[in-house]
Amino acid sequence: MADPRLDLFTGDTGGVDSWLAGDNAGRIHDRLAQLPKEPLSLALLNQLLALSQQPAVSPAFFEYYWCSAPVHPYRVEDLPDYHDSYIGLDRIISVDQLRWGLYRIYVDSLLFYGTIRHGFHALRDKSREELDQFFRAKMFDPEALIARGEPISPIPIPTDDRYLIGELACKSFEPSNEDREAWYALYGAWVEHKQKGGGRVKYKDLLDSAKLNPEFASRQLELTFISEELLEEVIEDEDQLKQKYDAVRRRFDRARPTALGNTDLYLSMVDNLDVYVATSMRNREQFRQMSAVCDRIFGDPSIKHYNLRYFDPTLSAARGHEDKGLVECLMVKCAKVLIYMVGTGDSFGKDVEAAMALSQGKPVIFFGDTEHRLKIFQDVHPLSRLVDYRTGIPVGLMATSSLTDVILLLHRIFGNEMRYTLEHKRKGYFRLVESLTQSVVRVQTDDRRLRETYWNVYHRDDFKNN
């Protein structure tokens, strides 16, 4: 009689997940029912695998998955059914031990190979050295992160001035030969105001008037962006208007070169970049909030000792939007993890950055306090799981509305302490869920035609070489 504790592993897709559900499943379950009275040696396990037309496993594979708890890309001790009594054994002595090893095999297969069948076939005959080498390459080296020390820190910019490094501010204060400085729009509005009788007027009323000027019609966003903190100011004369405008301009003149210098510093550490923060900031308050969030995340004691190299978007600027695009693409390419800051509006730029990171198989953390949008990213939108273009493995993002979760995820990622839950809700359909955020990070479809066509094509030699 089949043990219900093994139902999780009966996908029956033709791979190792079929060994408990095939023609000889009855015999196999009868033998497993003799545990723990009759332990299962490597030879006996391989006989059971052969009964279901599955290939044998190597002694090193057997020992690695059922009789040891090696340092791994995640803590194998945190998976269900672990017990320290398994360590050092030369056989499987219980159904719990069997479950623990199978759970690890399934998790590793989904994480690093895309399907359970591919993973098992790739790992089953490796030596211990090969297994250690393979998984070591998938891990971070926390001691090396700590030992490298702190990087040269970016030069601080006052929080209230950081919005002045935004592209919209640059377009206003550093116009090209074809553009005119924003001052001309405001001055023109003031002249028109005087012609209508003059007197005290709010800055925002002048701004609204300036927006009506056809010469500046295409620059409304810029004018609003640089004027946000002045909107409620009352203007009494031209000199006062000029003083207020120039005060903001002077702060821009200080912040802009500092941000450009910070970009040089970020480029100098890009080869060791750990985290890229993707965001879109459209007003002064969003720059403030983003600054506070970065300080909170990367100043947290639980990860500060890793000396993480991270890109703070509130401290960096480029000399033009083309350069900015190149800088950000390079940062995403080099970063080990991407944090996507979910805002109140959509942004093509940060969506592309998140897609780039997912397509490179990197951990992507979506953070935002809008539960509805997070639900869409986590469970609804089909492209919240993309494909690692190098391997074909489906890769899902991790979405949370908790800043504490973001910090803990970074701690687990760089400390090789990620935690996963294996789900098997219907025959052949497996999901690997990140335990903290309950986000699906890997999936194996139960659509056999899709699964077989997908992997047959994706691993075709001529496809891989293109």
pLDDT level of residue 408 (50, 70, 90 thresholds): very high
Long-range contacts of 184-188 (CB under 8 A, 24+ apart): 184/216, 185/210, 185/211, 185/213, 185/215, 185/216, 185/219, 185/223, 186/210, 186/223, 186/241, 186/245, 187/238, 187/241, 188/213
Asked whether 240 and 202 are in contact (CB, 8 A), the reply is no
- Let me know if 439 is exposed, middle or buried by CB neighbors in 10 A (0-12, 13-18, 19+): buried
pTM of the model: 0.89
pLDDT of residue 256: 93
Whether the pLDDT of residue 32 is over 90: the answer is yes
Contact (CB, 8 A) for 399 and 378 = yes
User: To which residue do tokens 């960096």 refer?
Assistant: 316
Given a contact cutoff of 8 angstroms between Cβ atoms, the answer to whether 337 and 274 are in contact is yes
Residue 461 pLDDT more than 80?
no
Q: H helices of 340-402, where?
A: 348-359, 371-375
Which CA distances in Å does 187 have to 4, 27, 212? 79, 90, 13
Average pLDDT over residues 5-18: 91
Q: Pick the residue with more confidence: 31 or 218?
A: 31
Round to whole Å and give the CA distance between 19 and 25: 7
Q: Which of 295, 342, 44 lies closest to 156 in space, CA to CA?
A: 295
45: which DSSP letter?
H
Nearest Cα residue to 255 out of 174, 373, 347: 174
Residue 464 confidence class, pLDDT cut points 50, 70, 90: very low
Identity of the amino acid at 198? G
* Of the ranges 31-35, 390-394, 449-453, 458-462, the best mean pLDDT one: 31-35
- Return mean pLDDT, the chain: 89
Domain topology for 145-151+260-415: Rossmann fold (3.40.50)
Task: Output the CA–CA distances (angstroms, integers) from residue 200 to 134, 229, 289, in the order listed.
Answer: 73, 18, 33
Q: CB–CB of 314/281 below 8 Å? A: yes
Confidence of residue 21 (pLDDT cuts 50, 70, 90): confident
Phi, psi for residue 80 in degrees, rounded to 5: -60, 145
| 169 confidence band (pLDDT: 50, 70, 90) | confident
Which pLDDT does position 462 carry in this prediction?
A: 46
Amino acid 465: pLDDT: 46
Short-list 411, 306, 429, CA closest to 365: 411
**Residue 275: Cβ within 10 Å count:** 24
> What's the Cα-to-Cα distance from 118 to each of 15, 85, 230, rounded to whole Å?
8, 30, 61
Q: Report how far residue 388's alpha carbon sits from residue 442's, in angstroms, rounded to the nearest whole number.
A: 11
Distant-in-sequence, close-in-space partners of 407: CB < 8 Å, separation ≥ 6: 296, 297, 300, 302, 303
**Which has more confidence, 233 or 8?**
8
Residue 386: which pLDDT band, with cuts at 50, 70 and 90? confident
Residue 374 — pLDDT band, cuts 50, 70, 90? low
Contacts of residue 81, Cβ cutoff 8 Å, sequence gap at least 6: 96, 97, 99, 100, 103
Amino acid at 154: P
Query: For the purposes of burial, counting CB atoms within 10 Å of the CB of 62, is it exposed (0-12), middle (13-18) or buried (19 or more)?
Result: buried
Rounded to whole angstroms, how far apart are CA atoms 42 and 26? 20
pLDDT at 96: 98
pLDDT for the residue numbered 180? 60
More confident residue, 168 or 144: 144
2-16, 153-167, 221-235, 292-306: range with highest mean pLDDT: 292-306
Helix (H, G, I), strand (E, B) or coil at 27: helix
CA 10 and chain centroid, separation: 31
Does residue 383 surpass a pLDDT of 60? no
β-pairing verdict for 364-367 and 337-341: parallel
Give the residue extent of every domain in the chain: 4-139, 145-151+260-415, 161-255
381 — pLDDT class (breaks 50, 70, 90): low
Please tell me the predicted confidence (pLDDT) of residue 466.
41
Percent of the chain scoring above 90 in pLDDT: 63
Identify the CA nearest to 210 among candidates 160, 226, 177.
226
* Residues 287-296: tens digit of each pLDDT: 999 999 999 9
Among 19-33, 198-212, 272-286, 408-422, which stretch is predicted with the lowest mean pLDDT?
Answer: 198-212
Read off the pLDDT of each residue in 439-456 and give the average, rounded to a whole number: 92
pLDDT tens per residue, range 303-326: 999 999 999 999 999 988 889 999
Which carries the bigger pLDDT value, residue 351 or residue 173?
Answer: 351
pLDDT band at 8 (very low <50, low <70, confident <90, very high): very high
Span 176-221, pLDDT tens digits? 655 566 777 777 888 888 888 888 888 888 777 776 677 666 566 7
Label residue 350 by pLDDT band (50, 70, 90).
confident
Is pLDDT at 81 greater than 90 in this prediction? yes
Q: Indicate left, alpha or beta for 14 from its phi (over 0: left) and psi (-120 to 50: alpha).
A: left
Instruction: Specify the pLDDT at position 349.
Output: 82
